[in-house]
Structures are given as structure tokens and as C-alpha cells.
Structure 1
Amino acid sequence: MKSTLLCNGAAVSAIAFASAGLFAPTLAGAQEAPVQSSASEEATIIVTGSRISRPDLTSNSPISVVSADTIRLSGATSVEDVLRDIPQAVPGIGGQTNNGNEGAATIDLRNLTEERTLVLVDGKRFVPFNKDGIVDVNMIPAALIKRVDVVTGGASAVYGSDAVAGVVNFILDDEFQGIKGDVQYGITSRGDARTFDASLTYGTSFADGRGHLVVNGGYTKKAALSQARRSFSRFALGQADLQPSGSLTDTPGNISDSFPTICSQADIDDGNCYAQFSPNGDLGPLQGSFNFNPYNLFQVPQERYQAHALFKYEFSDAARFFGRVSYIDTKVTTVLAPSGTFFFPFTVNLDNPFLSDQARSVLAPLDTDADGDVDIAFGRRTTELGTRDSIYRNKALQFVGGLRGDITDSLNYEVFAQYGQVKRRQQYLNDIDFAKTQQGLLVRDVGGVPTCIDPSNGCVPVNLFGAGNLTPEAGDFIRLDLEANDKTTQFVTGAFLAGDLFTLPTASSAAGFAVGLEYRREKTISRPDANLIAGNSPGFGAQSPIDAKYTVKEIYGELRVPLLEDKPFAEALTFEGGLRYSKYSSDVSNLVTGGTFGNSFSNWTYKAGGEWVPTEGVRIRGLYQRAVRAPNLAELGEPRTSSTGDLENDPCAGSNPVGNAALSQLCLDTGVPAGRIGTVNGPIAGQINNYVGGNPTLTPEKSDTYSIGLVVQPRQVPGFTASIDYFNIKVKNAITQFSEQVIVDACYEQEQDPNGFFCQLINRNPINGALSGGTETGVDASTLNAASLKRTGIDFAVAYQFKISDDARLQFGINATRAIKAEDQPADIFPSYDCVGLVGKTCLRPQPKWQFIQNTQLDYGPVSLLLRWRYIGKLTKDDIVLNGADPADYVVPVIKARSYFDLSGTVRVAERFELRGGINNLFDKKPPIVGNDYGGTAENSGNTFPATYDPLGRAFFIGASVKF
């Protein structure tokens, strides 16, 4: 029997533990993995992290293995449901994310963002779902996964760009034989958040065992779960008192300004003066805010169809064809509260018949030029139009094919090519048309009939002054549905040659090498409609058209040299190294201005390290790696686009600048209108307007990763393996978008110069000086090379299994991470901040010091039971540590540690029939309730962090599979 190695990642080891449903460390060599016979009596050993074909290859990087049994026993219907819990990652965007979800599920290793995690399928890049170059892991067929290798740390010398935080490699089962049907249903103890998953897989050999085909089809559906369905999330709560709060864009309609007859002097001084319309059109004091929580979701509805085919055929030992075709069609819908005017600037004529005499008298002082019109910052929720629904339809197609084979007994090769594309339709429903709303607000009385001053476009007079005053006809006139269509394509081709070189006199194994070439082309075209381009939609913002592409040509080599073998205090001493040269060329067409930009750059990536086995069962490993991440197509090609960002404090708001002449003048110089000092409104619900955009002159960011670890597998304790690894990742010249708070603080606290770089990024509302308003208002947070990032920590992994009796086996496994530093420095002029153990407006994604998953599994005859313990360490509000805020400012200054327990099991009812079921969140543990303004917009929702903690509560699943 011949062994063929598919060199796709770090060495697979301790597979016996992984296949038992444990998160197992990489401990032993790949030769100890169970060997599966193919139709051609050929054993396939898939190796991750190197292209050197050596059956004794072991990993010198930390790696966790997630098996197919783990995925099945967890009740996961999507890959994201399992991977978001591994301690090496923080939750990315997924099914629990409503605001900010683009209809995908992502992986974020080491809290370095999704762009810095490379996703592979059988060692090959998977096509990204959008212009950001990020892979939607829900497009990967869970039913075909044999295992998932999670390799943390830089790996660009082997795989190229993006492998800064690590690599997630999905290994598919291309040896499946027979027919297997699988179905699963899930529901919470409250009778909601239903999930359904079904798949059918067929595998067969042909041509006397020289060929093998596996075909799989699957369907998944997840039902929506509204935040109104959970008592802790029915009302938007404030972080300071956990009392109902919400948005000041409310149904009656609010005007932000200084109204001495309506607001107290204290509210005017603090910039918190709002006048609210009553149903009869009068203006009075603010009576409350809009509760948007019941409209938002804890589980976004999703429907997914998948079809995959894996094919291989052996012409001879020298030519073995392999191929894969994947087609995925996903539909994800997110729901937000009804749209509104969101304090965009509007002009209203004082003789508007919808205004009461009292309202005219309140607004009259704003008519400073006595032309009969007033400009107002107006916030009115258009509940009459229904919720804002975003429908994302992604259709992905990928082809992979190639040849591999043996040239000699010690020399092998591979050539391959792949093409993938994602067509993406984005529909945004039930917003309002800003231009038509403005047109409909300019109304005069003509013969007792309210009539639009400008009757074009079939104008219908719009009455937004008070709840219930917007007629269906007016609503239809201002209603706006939008659409954007994107297409992202990826083409990759390459070849490598690997084999043996020389053998040193001090060793018995030959040195291994691999050399190769690779070419990759990525292209994206984004076509939003005219209203999105113009920013004519207050509720959905703006999108810019993009036409960008880049190509990369690469050459690489790897070397692994056994230096000592079978010597005293050196059972093995091995060196490994790698080197890759990459040449990039980008081409960006600005579809707004018509300009074309090009850029080219090159870089080297490399690795060096090795392992030392002083005695049998003990291995010390270490590795240094230089990795890169080239700018993605959005970072290169997206024009400046208005959007929404987060801000905790505006130095120009309220009474902040009063009595401070220098700050007052700087506020005036950066856009606060004269006479507005002391009355500028602060951020609304922690949000302001911003701008995002690309930069065609960006260059790749670079990272240095150091890791050193100890692996123990003592012969005296059969079935026991353990590892401990220290990692240190530093990213320089990182592509970043400065947070809005960083920009504002830099302008008003450090530069203090209206012509300075950061002050020039601030554009204030021309009416009231706030940072919320129309598309002319916002903080420019476009991309640039400026940041430095650092992540250090320790990974622990232990697995132990032993027999209780001839029919019973008990297994324990734990995978833990102790984060030491998660340090970011936005630019050289700023101090760095460490987010380990913190969360909030600066540290957006929760990063506890300790995280682990512990599994205990009992196998007894046809029955397997698994108890999983998920632990999330405590978190402190970042503003307390980073800015010295008073803990009393928050009801929950510290989020206590959380533990979740899941119980699941399988039973083989018959030889070909298996039942499984389980209870996730066994003890119905509620998430921590911290308030809706505690953290970032995408991460903090429903008064908690729904991607980190479980907002659904106790949930059940039951499934069955039958194989013929």
C-alpha cells in the first residue's frame, strides 16, 4: 500500500482524539493517523502547513483539530456554529449578528479581524463572498467535512497573503462510499429559533477502483428570532442605569436645537435639547425615545441550498486527477427598526399648513434670514412603512481541478487551477427617499388643500409632524427600495515539486524540499443603484460603485532538514525553513470620478524554526514566520462612502467647550456654527455619521509571529497527550480605519489644529454642529497604512482516553487559551491600548483573558455521550481601564465569567441507522445584560453580545442518519 500526502496544512496528529469529538492538540506525527484505504488501495494522509511530502512530518505551529463528530454531536447545522466557540477565535459576523450582518458567517482568529484569517478547502483558497476578500464559511458543506485544522500564527510562506492570524483548513471526505441521508431539527425550549438541515451524499468507485466520485446536496433553513421574544431584550436599555432608552429618531418627530421655551437651560447647555411634535402639530418637551429592540433579531432567517461533487481518477502513479465543483445559494434576511429621517437636515416653510400656530412660533426664531423657511435637524421614525429589511442573496460557484503524481519514489508534483465566483444581490427595503421627503415637506395651503410647492414627480404632501399623520399615499410617495449587485471572481493556478534531497551523516532521514509557482487574480465589480450612490437613503446610507482587481505572481520554496536522529538527548532535531516572493499589481477604476489608478508592490515572506525531541514522548517546537496581508479589493477600490460609526464623547457637544476659549475656537474652526457653542448635540445612542472608503496607494501589511511549545505524549501513560504553546504576533504597517473616537480625540486633544490631518477628517452638521445629519456630515474613517497590532498568549491542550471495559471508553479533552496581550496602536502618534479582558466602544469584540472548551465523552457499545463545557472569562468595560471612567457610570462595570454546558449523544439503532440528539445551554443560562450602548454597533445588540454569549437559551436538537 502506497502513502500519498496531500500537503495542505500542519501535521495531523492525535486524530484518534479528534475523531472522538474532542478539540485535540497536534502531538504526534502524521504516520500515527488512522489510514483510510481508497479504491486504489492508496492511503491518503492530508498534511497542513507544508507542501513537503514526508510521512513523518509534524507541526511546529499550534494547531487545533475539529472533527466531523464534533460538528455532528454539537447539533451545528452550519460551520460557524462550531468554530465561533474555539478559544483561539473571537466571534465574527454570523447568524446572531443583525446590525452589520452582510448575509455571511466569518472567522476571526486571535481577534485580528476576519481579513487576517485565511480559509482553505483541502488546502486551496475558497472564493470570497464579497469585495473584502472574506470567506463565508457557511458556504462550506458541513456534511462532507472530515475535519477542520485550525493553525494559528502566520503562514504566508506556505499559502501567501492573508494568513496573518492563521489558517482554517476544511478537509473534505473524498473517500465516502455508499449513500447517506441525514436530517436534523432544532428548537429552543421556548418553541422558537427553529432550524432544519437535510443532506444526501452518494459516493462510489468505478473503473476497477481507479476512480472515485462523491456527490452531496444539502438544504438548511433557520427561522428568525426577534429580540421581542426574550424578556431581557424587549426594551433598549441604557448602560448607565439599565432603564429603557432608545433612539431619538422617534415616531412623533423630534427637532434638535435650542428652544428656551421648551427645554431647561441645563439641557440646552448639555446639548440635549429636543422639541417633540404632538399629534396636533404642536411642539413640546421630549416625552421619550423609540424602542427599536423588538424589531431586531437574535437569529437571522437563512435559507441555503448546496451541491458539491468531488472527483478523482488515477491514470497511473504519475498522474492522478482530482477535482471539486461547489455550488451554493444562500438567502439571509436581516431586519432593522423602521427607517426615519435620522436628523438629516430638512427645510420646512413656516406657512406649512401641517404646522400648528404654536409650532410656527417655536420655529420662527430659526428663520434668521427672514425668508419664511427654516432649516431643522429632524428625527422622525417612519413606522408607517414597516421594518427596514435587508435581503442578501449569494450564489457561489467554484471549480477546482489538477493533477498530482510521483515522478520517482522520492519526487512528486502537483499542478492545479481553480476558478470561483460569487454573484451577490442586495435588496434594501422600506427606506425613505430623502429628496422626495424634502419635496413633500414643502407644502402650502391652496384653496384649503395642502399642496406641494413643487408638484413634480407626482408629489404628495408629507406630514411627519406627529404620530399617525403620515398618510398611506404620502408613505408610498417617499418609500424607497434599493438594490446593489456585486460580482467577485477569483482565479488561482499553480504547481509545485516536492521530494527528498540529501541525508546528513548524523541523521537517517533525508532532507525534504518543495518549490513552486502560483498565480492569482481577484476581481470585484459592485453596482449599487443611483439612490445608494447618491446617499439618498437615510436609513441604509450609501454605497459606492467599485471596479477593482489585482493579480499576484509568486514563487516559493520550503526545506526541512533532519539534523540529528537517534542520538543521546536528541531522538530528533530538525530544521525547517521557507521563503516566498510575491509581486502584486492592482488596477482600480473610480466609477464616481471616472479616474483609473494602478499600483504595484512586492514582498518577501519566510519562516524558520524546528523541533527537538530530547527523549521519546517529549517534543519541543518553535517557529518564526514573516507573513503579509495585501490590501483587499474594497480597501483599494471603494470610493469615499457615507455610513454610520460609533462615538462615546464629542468634545464640542453640550457644555464641554464652555469656558474653554481654545476648545471653543477649535470647535468653531472645525464646523460648529457661530452661536452654537454650548448647544451642540452629542452622539445619538452612541452613533454618529462617518465615511468609509478605500485607498489605491495602500501597501501590504507585515507581521512577525514567534511561537514555542512543548508536546508531551508519555509512553508510560497510554492515551495521554498534552501541549503548551506560547505565541507572539506583531503586525506592522497594518491597514486600518481609525475609529471615530480616535479621530475626534486626536483632533481636539492632540493636534488642536483645524488644518491638521485628523481635524480635516471631521465634517460637522452645518445646521447645529453635531456629528449626525445628512451625507455632508461625518467623520472620515477611510483606510490607510498606519496601525500596529500585537497579540500574545498561551494555548493549552490536553487529551486523555482510556478503556473502562472491553465495551466502554472514556475520553477527556480541553482546548484553552490565555490571552496575554491584544494591543492596538492606531498610529505612531497615539498611545497603544490593550484589549485583553476588556470590551466596549474601543475594544469592540470581547477578548477575555481565559477561554476554553472541555469535552468529556463516554462510548459504550452503540451509544456515545458528550458533555461539553464552554467557558468565557470575565470582561471589564474598556472605558474604565483605558480612560479612567468611574465604574459607577455603568450598572455592569464587569461582566462576570460565563459557563455553558451542552449534552449530546448518538446511538446506533441498527448497523446502518443512527439517531442523535442533544441539549445546548443545558442549564438555560441567560447572557449578561449590559445595555444597548455598551459596545460597538455590530457586536452589541439586544442589551448583550449575542455572538459571544447565548441569547437563545436552552435549545434541543434531534437528528438521524441512514447509510446504504
Structure 2
Amino acid sequence: MKKIDIAARLRCGVAPVILASAMLSPSIAIAQDEPQGADPGVEQVIVVTGSRIARPDLTSNSPISIVSAESINRSGAASVEDVLRDIPQAVPGIGGQTNNGNPGVATIDLRNLTEQRTLVLVDGKRFTPYDKDGIVDVNMIPTALIKRVDVVTGGASAVYGSDAVAGVVNFILDDEFSGFKADAQYGLTSRGDARTFDGSLTYGTSFSEGRGHFIVNGGYTKQKALYQGRRSFSEFALGQADLQPSGSLTDTPGNIADTFPTICSQADIDDGNCYAQFSPNGDLGPVAGSFNFNPYNLFQVPQERYQAHALFKYEFSDAVTFFGRASYVDTKVQTILAPSGTFFYPFTINLDNPFLSDQARGVLGPLDTDGDGNVDVAFGRRTTEIGTRDSIYRNKLMQFVGGFRGDLGGGLNYEVFAQYGQVKRRQQYLNDIDFAKTQQGMLVRSVGGVPTCIDPSNGCVPVNLFGAGNLTPEMGDFIRLDLEANDKTTQFVTGASLAGEMFTLPTASTAAGFAVGVEYRREKSISRPDANLIAGNAPGFGSQSPVDAKYNVKEVYAEVSIPLLEGVAFAESLVFEGGLRYSKYSSTVDNLVTGGSFGNGFSNWTYKAGGEWMPVEGFRVRGLYQRAVRAPNLGELGEPRTPGTGDLETDPCAGANPVGNAALTQLCYDTGVPAGRIGTVNGPIAGQINNYSGGNPTLTPEKSDTYSIGFVVQPRQLPGFSASVDYFNIKVKNAITQFSEQVIVDACYEQEMDPNGFFCQLINRNPLNGSLSGGTETGVDASTLNAASLKRTGIDFAAAYQFTVGQDVRLQFGINATRTIKAVDQPADIFPSYDCVGLVGKTCLRPQPKWQFIQNSQLDYGPLSVLLRWRYIGKLTKDDIVLNGADPADYVVPVIKARSYFDLSSTFDIEGGFQLRGGINNLFDKKPPIVGNDYGGTAENSGNTFPATYDPLGRYFFIGASVKF
């Protein structure tokens, strides 16, 4: 078998890329004499993320950030997402600090273009998504087997296909590990909470005189909950305007939203802020406080994870090597929300209800306009007696990858492979209330002095929600509702490729490289929520729709790398890179709500062109243009219209907004405000309203254009130093989007001003009071369509320098920084665009500072290594101030100041294969910025801060140990 001097070729080819590529750990700067864990003399597979041409002299023309296994180890993180979310090329996606909107997974969002536009690979091959949205849960990646993580930003669809719009995250596994390794780590905060344990066992061995290699790995992770009530800054829900305790008007005593002149001031009525609250004796009076939901919510979600992985390869001959991987992951994640409630759903109350006091009947009586003895009200009562709303997500992944690769001679090599994966997902939603039974139990009459349900069916128990402490355990058991949904997502991929060398131009000494191949991929997702979820009978958890959708794609691709000039004046090297891919899709969507099937097909071309120029040794200029696409995922194609909850700051029809404006008043009436309600319509409750979301089987792929240009400096005069600067420009057209609720409302009332217009038709108001909160018939339709344009531009900076001091001490410094220049979104052509750089709020949901960086300083002294990491997050301004001209005085924190976090960690190697490690994250126990719970989106803004961006845990200690023999 042909032997390759990997170390030498890495120094010439891949190692300079690693050294220059925005290093997160300076310890990876020098290529080792042999890759860690490798058997000497055994041929290794060269992986250059961003290209199918696997040659040791190939360099990447896309900016690459590299996270080493050592960086992950040193971070104290039990999951790789905790490390990746800190890199400046990303914004925090869903993770362990996300409570509201966390479906029990961890995701990656590059360039703030959402997770759907980031492609996740393992060893260059797709990993199975966890559900119909096509997103990978990175908690399922085997952390103990990771050799490194390559993060390529910008389009890469010509190489990898759909979804690589923002970039690619490629987890490279160590398939050459030999020996036995046991590893364990434990961590907790300085306050003794947020405890995490992670342990793994790995065994690898060669056999048949080195022709075969087998690795097996098992891991266990357990993370305990941290409640927001455990931190002083998040003990109470605070309002952004004054940072005073606020909360939800769905409160334990029970509130009714309407016009009550004997209870509310005229100013509150004019502002649409009139509520009457029940006292324990059933009387109605002014609202006294609101519900503090913060202590129930989480800063760290509890999770438990079991993993088992096996890697195998066997060389039959130079021409045939079999490779395979089998993965099994079982994760259980629990999110906890405050107790459920009626959330101002419309309820009918009979005035002779014995649970009502005479005073309450007098207050409610004027609402009985038809004289039938019943009143229809928007009722908000928190059912604390039933307990917290718990969501339990159980995901079970199986993935099998296998294939053959080999050397055909003459510089040609091939690979054929097939892979199958499935994720079975069980979602349990506990302790909600049954809307239908609640309504049934609230219609009560006195029979012989005994409260009795008017409708006694279903074993009805009379329900008293009129005041705190009135809901008995028997009542709670009658209206309690547990829900469940079961999903199954499968992925099958097969392909074949041929790569090698072609001709050599007379002006160059290195042969041109090429890769050609074909792929076939089939994705299928089935979602089966129970009947109550489908019907939207759960006010606290909303609804889900059944989905049965699938698509397949057939693809063919080609890629070339052609050295044009070598060894001439002003051109030590000049290389052209190009690629082309054709994809043809077909899809089938079965609408399990309305019946029928829909089929849609589309095709697209993706391509790339660019190259590198090395005018002199040690200085390389690189540039690349790439056309990428993202095909609609199964959820976007197949999910029926589903009620839910969305964000809204301002309703033009609420309160006194339309008073005195005849045109707006008429438009409010025409879009569903009941007659006579102008001036009394309630606004958004805690920044939230009802919405609808759903798919669209006619969607087409979105397209993106990425331009990048930069340079890499590695001066011979300064050994151990490398730096790179890269400019990036990503434009996404025809983007699949869900308009935000505020965008839709503003478009209707400020731009269209036509009740029959497209956006006004998306608004469905509460038939009782005209608000946008209520039952499943109320809300703003934010379903998907091709309409948006997105643009991201910026500059990535990277530098690394290492040198020795004497014979025993080595110092290493590295920095990875991004200056984001533009983060422009345009929801549709009729809207103005807005730039979210340096902004955060209800429009710019995920914080996008202008500057972010990670700087590492490392000292190695014999067996001891110490690392100091500096994480910097630039300042952010409340988006409403910049985008809408809001008065900064409206916010206690109009600007979130820049934040720096420092982490200190060390490792100590002990003779015999032992290693101890430990560290302190957030060394100076810096608190997150406190801005209030209504400062941004409900998924990102929680506990009065942005817990995925800033550290809510505080000073965190971890200690770990490993033994290898």
C-alpha cells in the first residue's frame, strides 16, 4: 500500500490552513509528527471541508474556523453547542439556556441566518435532522470522538447541496483512535447549582496486521435544572420601561378584559388597558398586581443523554477499503414553564352561577346585551393549583453509514456510500387545561343549594376559577390536560464519487485535481399529535398539526482545482477553483387535516468559482463566489395552518390609537373590531398575541450569492505566526420566511390600508373585544412563503502566534474576531429593509453585535498547560430606537454595553496516560445585562436578559480526568 508522509504534507498543505483559520485554541497551530491516535505508517483520509477534492496540498479558499478537540475539552462544556455558540461567526441558536421555544435540542446559527441555513455534517456527510424542519440536534454528535470541528461560512451548495447557505459545520471524528480511554467531568456554579456530569468510555484497536480498525464509544451526560428564581436579577419578571416587577395579566385571581367604568379609570379604558380582577369571595375589583412567572422558568434545562457509537474500516486491498459508522443516541430534555391558564380565551359565564358574588353579577350584567343571562368575556386565570407546564422531549436517533473507497491507480480514487438515519421523537406536554372541559365546568347552576354543571356529561365537576384558592384538587383533575405528539423523521442518502488528478499545464508543476459524483437523498417526516393538540384545545401549549411529507432529490456534481501558474515572478502559485451541481427535487405532502395530497417538483443549479494567488511565499490571496440554495424543508412544505403564540409590541387598533383618525377607525372596524369597541380594544398581553403558522406546498428553493475575498500571511521571518483577513458578502433572494406579527400588522394598517389587501386578510381579531388575543379563531397568520431578502456582510479576522521561551516554556496566542458590517433583512419587496447590526429587540430577535471575538492565551510548561480565554460581545442598542425613532427614555436600558467574559482552564499530564483538567468559566462572576422580559422575542429574551448570549449562570467550576492506555 502506498504510504503517505502525512506530517510533511500537512505542513505543506492543510496545516497552513489550520494555522491561519481563525483558531479558537492556539495549541492546534503546529501539525504534530503524527495525527493524535493514529497508527504510524497508515494512510489517513485527508478532509478539507469545503471541497470534495481530497489532496494534502489543497488549501481552502473559504474562510474556515477550526475548533479543536482540545478546545472542547478545555471549555468544560458537556455539549459541543456550548462551544460553537461562542464563535464570532455564529449567534446563539436554541440550547440549554433557551426555555420558551426550546423543543429539547441544541442548534447552530451561522451569520444570524437561522439554523435552517446552516448545514451540519459528520465526516463530510449529512447527519439526520431531528424533525420536519431539517435541523440537526448537535447534542447527538459524539463529543468524545470529535477530532476537530470545521466551520466554513458562506455558501457551499456546489459541494454539499441544499442548506449550505450560511455555511457548513463539519464534525471530523477520530477514526484512528487506538487504546482505551475513560473520561469524566463534573461541573457546578459557585452557588452550588446547575450541576452537570459527563462521562465516556472509548476503545479502539487495529487487527489483521493493521488492515482493519474498530472503535466503540459510549457516553452519558446529565444536566440538572437551574430555575430563574435562583438568581436575584431574574427572581421577578421586570418591565423594560422601568425595570419594575410586572408579569402576566393571566393571574391566579382571574382577570376579565373589557370596559368597566366602575372599576377602571378613563385613561385605562382609552388605552385598552381595562381589566377587572376577582377577589377570593368572587367580587370584581381593580387589578392588584400581576403574575410573576419568572421563578418557574429555567436558565438551564435538565437533560439526560445516552450515546453509543461504533466506527469500523477494513482494507481488503489498495483498491477496496470498507468503512462504516453506527450511532445510537437517546436524549431526554425537559423544559418547564409557569402554570397554565385560560390566557384570555373567550368564555361564556352564566350570571346565575353560584360561584359569582352579587357584586360580580352587577359588574358583568351590562355585558349581557341580548338578555339571555349569559355573558361572553375574555378571561385570564392562572391555574397554579395544577402545577407547572412541563414539556418532556425524548429523541432517539439511529444512523448507519457504510461504503467503500479505494485507490484505482493513476492518481484516481473513488468512494461509494449509503447511509440511513431515523429520529423517533416523543413530545409530552403536561399540566395544561382542557379548554372545552373548563368551559363546561364554568357553566354552573345551584340545584338544591349544590353547585351543579348545566351539562353533566363527561363526569363534569363544577369549576370555580373566580378568585385565588377556589380551584379544588377535584376541579383541577377535571380540567387538567396532558398532551402528546409522536414524530418520526427518516433520511436516506447514497452516492458515488470519483476524484483524482488530470492534466498539468505547462506553466505549472502540479496536476489539476477534480471530483465528480452523483447523490440521491430521500427525506420523510411524519408527525402525529393527539386529538387535543390538533384541535387547539390546550390554551397553554397551543396546537400542533399532523404532518406527512416527503421529498427526494437526485444530484450530480463536479469540481476542479487547476494550478495555472507556479514558481514564476509574482506568482509562486495561482490556482483556479470551480464547481457545479444540478439538483432535481420531487415532493409529496399528505394533508392529514383536510385530506388530499400535493406534489411539487423543482430543480436548480449551484456553482462556485474562485481561487488563490500567492505572489510571494508567505502571502496568499484567496477569493470565491458561490451560488447556494436552500430547498424548503418538510415542515415548510407540509405543515397545515396551526394556531400558536407570537410577539407584538403595538396594535394600531388598541386603546386610543385610532380615536380621532377616521380612516384608521374604519379600517379597524373592517378588519374585525366589533362595533362600538374603538377606544377600548385591549393591546398585546406581555408583548404576546395569538398567531397561526403553517407550510406551503408551492414553495420553491431560495437562492444565495456569497462573495468572499481575503488574504493569509505566514512570514518566514516570523516562524509560528499566521494571520488572515476575509471579507464576506452573503445575499439571499426568494427567502422562505414567516413574516413577524408586527410586520404583518404594520403592513395592513400603515401601508396597504385596505381590508381586502393581502396583509389585512391575515388578521383575525377576537370577535368579543377586537383584540388579537383569544381562542384559536383569533390571531395573525404568519405562515411561510417565498418573499424575503437577506444580506450579511462583514470581515473575519484571525491571528495566531506561538514561540518558545527557553527550552521548557511555550507561549501561544490566538484571536478569532468578526466585524459585522450589515445584517439587512427585507421581509418583502413592499417593505423597507432594516439593518440589525448592533441591535436587538422585537424586530432583531437574536443579538447581532458589531464586534465579537474570542482571544486565547496559553502557556505550556512541561506537563502543565494553562489557558486564559477572553470572550467579547459588543454593545447592542434597542432596535425600536434606531428602526422606528423611539425615545431612548422609554427604556431604562436603551443600550446594552459591551460585555467581556474570562475563562481560565488548565490541564496536567501525569505519567502513565493520566490527565487532570479543571477550570473556571466566567472567572469574575459577571452578571448578564438586565433589560426586562419584554425587551425582545420570547424565545431569546427570558429571565430579564438574553440567556443564550450572556452568561446567566455566573462563575462556573469544572474538573475532569481522563486515563488512556
- Describe how 1:391-406 pairs up with structure 2 within 5 A: 391-406=392-407
The answer for the alignment partner of 1:572 in structure 2 is 573
* 1:911 counterpart letter in structure 2: G
- Decide which moves more: 16-25 or 80-89: 16-25
Structure 1 distance, partners of 2:943, 2:182, is 37
- Looking at structure 2, the residues matched to 945 and 265 of structure 1 have their Cα atoms a distance apart, in angstroms, of 36
**Structure 1 segment 622-633 matched on structure 2, within 5 A:** 622-633=623-634
Distance 1:135 1:58, change over 3 A: same
Q: Are 2:24 and 1:22 aligned?
A: yes
Q: How does 1:309-328 map to 2 (within 5 A)?
A: 309-328=310-329
Offset of residue 37 of structure 1: 4.5
Contact 1:523/1:548 (CA < 8 Å) preserved in 2?
yes
| 2:622 matches 1:621 | yes
Contact 1:201 1:216 in 2 (8 A): yes
Match of 2:138 in 1: 137
> Within the alignment, does 1:151 sit opposite 2:146 as a pair?
no
Matched, 1:480 2:481: yes
Deviation by residue 1:518-571 (Cα, 9 ceiling, x = unmatched): 000000000000000000000000000000000000000001110000000000
The residue that corresponds to 2:899 in the other structure is: 898
Q: What is the letter of the counterpart of residue 803 of structure 1? A: T
For 1:703 and 1:326, how far apart are their aligned partners in 2? 33
1:195-222 Cα distance to aligned partner (Å, 9 max, x none): 0000000000011110000100000000
Amino acid corresponding to residue 914 of structure 2 in structure 1: F
| Cα separation, 1, equivalents of 2:36 and 2:467 | 72
Q: Structure 1 residue 593 and structure 2 residue 594: aligned?
A: yes
Q: Secondary structure at the match of 1:591?
A: coil
Measure how far apart 1:103 and its partner are.
Answer: 0.3
The gaps in structure 1 that reach 5 residues or longer are none
How far 1:635 moved relative to its partner?
A: 0.2
Give the match for residue 509 of structure 2: 508
Give the C-alpha shift of residue 409 in structure 1: 3.4
The one-letter amino acid paired with 1:574 is: V
Distance change (3 Å), C-alpha of 1:99 and 1:134: same
Secondary structure of the residue aligned to 2:927 is: coil
How many residues end up aligned between the 2 structures? Answer: 960
Q: Secondary structure at the match of 1:750?
A: helix
User: Paired residue for 2:936?
Assistant: 935
| 1:15, distance to aligned residue in structure 2 (A) | 7.6
In structure 2, relative to structure 1, the CA distance for the partners of 1:653 and 1:19 (3 Å cut) is closer
1:833 corresponding residue in structure 2 = 834
Aligned to 2:262: 261
Deviations 1:81-137 (A, max 9, x none): 100000000000000000000000000000000000000000000000111000000
CA–CA distance in 2 between the matches of 1:296 and 1:532?
A: 23
1:207-243 Cα shifts (integer Å, max 9, x gaps): 1110000100000000000000000000000000000
Task: For 1:602 and 1:16, locate their aligned partners in 2 and report how far apart those are by CA, in whole Å.
Answer: 36
The answer for the alignment partner of 1:695 in structure 2 is: 696
C-alpha distance in 1 between matches for 2:402 and 2:264: 70
Whether the 8 Å CA contact 1:18–1:65 is kept in 2: the answer is no
Shift of 1:3: 3.6
Shift of 1:583: 0.1
Q: Which residue of 2 aligns with 1:13?
A: 15
Aligned to 1:294: 295
CA distance in 2, matches of 1:21, 1:818: 16
Deviation digits for residues 783-811 of structure 1 (CA, Å, limit 9, x no counterpart): 00000000000000000000112121100
Is the 8 Å Cα contact of residues 19 and 722 (structure 2) preserved in structure 1?
Answer: no
After superposition, give the CA deviation of every residue in 1:617-672 in whole Å (9 maximum; x if it has no partner): 00000000000000000000000000100001000000000000000000000000
**Secondary structure at 1:486 match in 2:** strand
Match of residue 166 from structure 1: 167
Q: In the alignment, does 2:733 pair up with 1:709? A: no
Matches within 5 A, 1:741-760: 741-760=742-761
Q: Are residues 1:497 and 2:475 paired?
A: no
Distance 1:731 1:636 in 2: 19
After superposition, residues 91-240 of structure 1 pair within 5 angstroms as 91-240=92-241
| SS of structure 1 residue aligned to 2:549 | strand
CA change 1:165–1:322 in 2 (3 A) is same
Tell me the alpha carbon deviations over residues 938-961 of structure 1, each in whole angstroms, 9 at most, x when there is no partner: 000000000000000001000000
Q: CA deviation at 1:49?
A: 1.1
User: Higher mean Cα deviation, 290-299 or 16-25?
Assistant: 16-25
Residues 1:533 and 2:522 aligned together: no
Partner Cα distance (1:507, 1:99) in 2? 58
Is contact 2:187–2:956 with CA below 8 Å preserved after alignment?
yes
SS in 1 for 2:15: coil
Inter-CA distance 105–35: structure 2 relative to 1 (3 Å threshold): closer
Any idea what SS the aligned residue of 1:695 has?
coil
Q: Displacement, 1:147?
A: 0.3
1:647 aligns with 2:641: no
Q: How does 1:321-336 map to 2 (within 5 A)?
A: 321-336=322-337
- Secondary structure at 2:44 match in 1: strand
Deviates more, 1:51-60 or 1:104-113: 51-60
Identity %: 84
Letter in 1 for 2:94: I
| 1:507-527 CA-partner distances (Å, limit 9, x unpaired) | 001111111000000000000
Aligned amino acid, residue 49 of structure 2: T
Q: Secondary structure at the match of 1:741?
A: helix
SS of corresponding position for 2:844: coil
CA distance in 2, matches of 1:920, 1:830: 43
Q: Match of 2:772, SS?
A: coil
Distance, in Å, in 2 between the alignment partners of 1:724 and 1:114 is: 25
CA distance in 1, matches of 2:28, 2:566: 21
Residues 568 and 21 (structure 1), Cα distance of their counterparts in 2 relative to 1, 3 Å cut: closer
In the TM superposition, what is the alpha-carbon distance from 1:32 to its structure 2 partner? 10
1:817-852 per-residue CA deviation (whole Å, 9 max, x = no partner) reads: 000000000000000000000000000000000000
Aligned residue type for 2:580: L
Q: Give the superposition deviation at 1:65.
A: 0.5
Q: CA deviation at 1:812?
A: 0.1
Cα offset, 1:267, TM superposition:
0.4
Looking at structure 2, the residues matched to 471 and 549 of structure 1 have their Cα atoms a distance apart, in angstroms, of 47
For the 8 Å contact 2:22–2:798, the answer to whether it is kept is no
Shift of 1:912: 1.1
Amino acid at match of 2:414: Y
Does 2:881 correspond to 1:880?
A: yes
Distance in 2 separating the partners of 1:18 and 1:96: 32
> Corresponding residue for 1:444?
445
- Contact 1:24–1:65 under 8 Å retained in 2: no
Contact kept in structure 1, 2:930 and 2:944, CA below 8 Å: yes
CA RMSD of aligned residues (A): 1.7
- 1:339 and 2:356 are equivalent in the alignment: no
Residue deviations 1:755-793, cap 9 Å, x none? 000000000000000000000000000000000000000
Shift of 1:76: 1.1
- Look up the match of 2:852: 851
2-structure distance, mates of 1:40, 1:587: 50
Shift of 1:909: 2.3
* Unaligned residue ranges in structure 2 (runs of 5+): none
- Tell me if the contact between 1:31 and 1:56 (Cα under 8 Å) persists in the aligned partners: no
- 1:56 alignment partner in structure 2: 57
| Match in the other structure for 1:245 | 246
Q: Does 1:950 align with 2:945?
A: no
Cα separation, 1, equivalents of 2:654 and 2:33? 65
Q: CA deviation at 1:17?
A: 5.5
Q: Secondary structure of 1:413's match? A: strand
Provide closer, same or farther for how the CA distance between residues 461 and 37 of structure 1 changes in structure 2, counting only shifts above 3 A. Answer: closer
The answer as to 2:406 corresponding to 1:408 is: no
Moved more, 42-51 or 73-82: 42-51
Name the aligned partner's letter for residue 630 of structure 2: R
Q: Deviations along 1:429-473, whole A, 9 cap, x unmatched?
A: 000000000000000000000000000000000000000001111
Whether the 8 Å CA contact 1:252–1:279 is kept in 2: the answer is yes
Alignment TM-score, normalising by the size of structure 2 = 0.98
Q: What letter matches 1:22 in structure 2?
A: L
Query: In 1, are the aligned partners of 2:14 and 2:56 still within 8 Å (CA)?
Result: no
